[in-house]
Amino acid sequence: MLHGGDYNPDQWLDRPDILTEDIRLMKLSHINCVSVGIFAWATYEPEEGKFNFKWMDELLDRLHKNGITAILATPSGAKPNWMAAKYEEIRRVDQHGKRDPQWHRHNHCYTSPVYREKVTIMNTKLAERYGKHPAVAMWHVSNEYGGECHCPLCKQGFRAYLKARYEILDAVNDAYWARFWSHNYTEWSQIDALDSGVHALILDWKRFVTHQTTDFMLHEMKPLRSMTPEIPITVNMMGFYDVLDYWKMAPHLDLVSWDSYPGWHKGAVYETAAGTAMAHDVYRAMKQGKPWLLMESTPSNVNWQGVSPLKRPGLHRISSLQAVAHGSDGALYFQFRKGRGSMEKFHGAVVDHAGHENTRVFKEVARLGEDLAKMNDITGATTPADVALIFDWENRWAIHEENGPRNQGKDYQQTVYEFYLPLWKRGVACDVIDADQPIDQYKLVIAPMLYMIKPGVQERLSKFVENGGTLITTYFSGYVNESDLCFLGGFPGGKDSLLRKTIGVWAE
């Protein structure tokens, strides 16, 4: 069972005494694994083409000597200033056509050939240098992929994506119902992802963002797969993050992981716990038969909520063990030691600014480490579920965009949660899946507000019921196809549809 989290020694290279003390504190808190190098590009490559890996050499040797493994990250989540200044095209362009300055993180264009080349150089060097190091247990590719770019390269990439999807413009016009408002396209160059009046276009842009992010991820992984095929690869995801459809990314990963930061003290603890469990069950379901990993959590508090309180005594242990109970092979944190400055200096950590083990948080972390050390026999175990609850990213996008009888308070995610809650209260294992997943293995499938019916979904649901399964669905189901075109002949599914026959009712 892994216990540890993000560790940033590159911020403390001028304090060898602190780096030495960190090892003592890791061992004292029963930490056996740390994620390193996540935002270290400027330390690896302070100037273009001039590399410094000595500090990482020493770190990995020190970790291995003390029985601590490393999840080694690729540093693409934050590019260095020299790169942004020299290569303008790698900086994202916003929806208004303005190129972003070099600020924050996740501010790079996934389409940019220059950035892809720089990432390949860096990741190749990391794989060559550390692929055989005994401390390295896993690759952590980038960090929390996210965002979108509207630069000319991305617009060109989007049109190429549409050509592959539809082949001819007539198919695009049909799928987009383009005769409405005279939006027929006569040239591919006329397609602009910012046209909010065409719902199918908005959906395709969102699909493209996931497609392009996944393509960039695979580009990052290529030298790692080629040179270190025996080392598993993960990407840390973000719960129900709206921008990326994680189901499209998961098949390419050896292990899925996610970063969990609930607002524990915003309402009833059990409600927060139930919502967190629902997210855990998404990631458990993504790699059927395999565990997942809680890659980030806080042992104390975050720093970005309106009020960011410390966890109450005992809550850290309970919430971490909840993740294990839902299939995680450990509990990792952001972060091990608090930094002194910048944006996350007050974000929770195992080691606070006090710098020693005599804090409540440290002691709670150490106790959890003792608990996890007793659970190694369940590593890799999974809990088969008899119930599947459908939460579909594309369906959420479509519901959000549609203009209809209700344009506020649509509450798709909340509705799914309200079906999840009674199952959770009764201890019923439930996989939270998207609509494209197989369902034959379940006894009960719940599909709330399944507004969009993608190809094959009606057939799977109908066959499931014919074979003795129980299907529950709700209002606002079966209204449109994958292009957000309404079915004709009434809902759900249109006249004579399999879904209509299966459910046995129709709505005008």
Taking residues 153-173, report their average pLDDT.
97
Amino acid at 191: I
Q: How many residues does the chain have?
A: 508
Mean pLDDT of the chain: 95
For 127, 220, 387, the CA distances from 122, given in Å and listed in that order, are 9, 9, 44
For residues 98, 103, 107, 112, the Cα torsion angle rounded to the nearest 10 degrees is 70
pLDDT band at 195 (very low <50, low <70, confident <90, very high): confident
At 405, phi and psi to the nearest 5? -65, -25
pLDDT of 241: 97
pLDDT at residue 190 is higher than 90: yes
| Alpha-helical runs (H) found in 131-238 | 152-166, 169-176, 199-227
Residue among 296, 401, 364, 350 nearest 2 (CA): 296
Q: How does DSSP classify residue 14?
A: T
Using DSSP, state whether 108 is helix, strand or coil. Answer: strand
Residues 434 and 384: their CA atoms lie apart, in Å, by 17
47 is catalytic: no
Residue in 45, 220, 296, 402 annotated catalytic? 296
Contact 259, 236 (CB under 8 A): yes
pLDDT 10s digits, 88-147: 999 999 999 999 988 888 789 999 999 999 999 999 999 999 999 999 999 999 999 999
Give the CA count within 13 Å in the CB-facing half-sphere of 477: 25
CA–centroid distance for 370 within its chain: 29
pLDDT at residue 204 is higher than 90: yes
pLDDT of 103: 82
pLDDT of 187: 96
Q: Is 181 left (phi over 0), alpha (psi -120 to 50) or beta?
A: left
pLDDT at residue 395 is higher than 90: yes
Query: Residue for token digits 């509990």?
Result: 331
Residues 233 and 140: their CA atoms lie apart, in Å, by 6
Q: What percent of the chain has pLDDT over 90?
A: 89
Contact 75, 37 (CB under 8 A): yes
Amino acid at 487: F
Query: What residue segments make up the domains of the chain, in order of their start?
Result: 2-148+214-378, 387-503
Residue among 245, 148, 192, 198 nearest 402 (CA): 198
What is the longest distance spanned by two Cα atoms in the chain?
74
- The pairing of strands 136-140 and 233-237 is parallel
pLDDT band at 194 (very low <50, low <70, confident <90, very high): confident
CATH 3.40.50.720 fits 387-503, yes or no: no
Contact 477, 490 (CB under 8 A): no
pLDDT 10s digits, 32-48: 999 999 999 999 999 99
Residues with Cβ < 8 Å from 232, sequence gap 6 or more? Answer: 138, 139, 254, 255
Angle at 291 between CA 74 and CA 33, to 5 degrees: 45
Minimum mean pLDDT range among 24-28, 98-102, 279-283: 98-102
pLDDT 10s digits, 450-484: 999 999 999 999 999 999 999 999 999 999 999 99
Domain 2-148+214-378: CATH superfamily is Glycosidases (3.20.20.80)
Q: Which token pair is 39?
A: 């935002």
pLDDT of 2: 97
401 is catalytic: no
pLDDT of 419: 98
Crossing angle of helices 412-425/269-286, nearest 10°? 100
Residue in 144, 364, 402, 482 annotated catalytic? 144
pLDDT of 266: 79
Q: Which token pair is 124?
A: 């190749």
CA–centroid distance for 477 within its chain: 26
pLDDT 10s digits, 343-385: 999 999 999 999 999 999 999 999 999 999 999 999 988 888 9
pLDDT at residue 264 is higher than 90: no
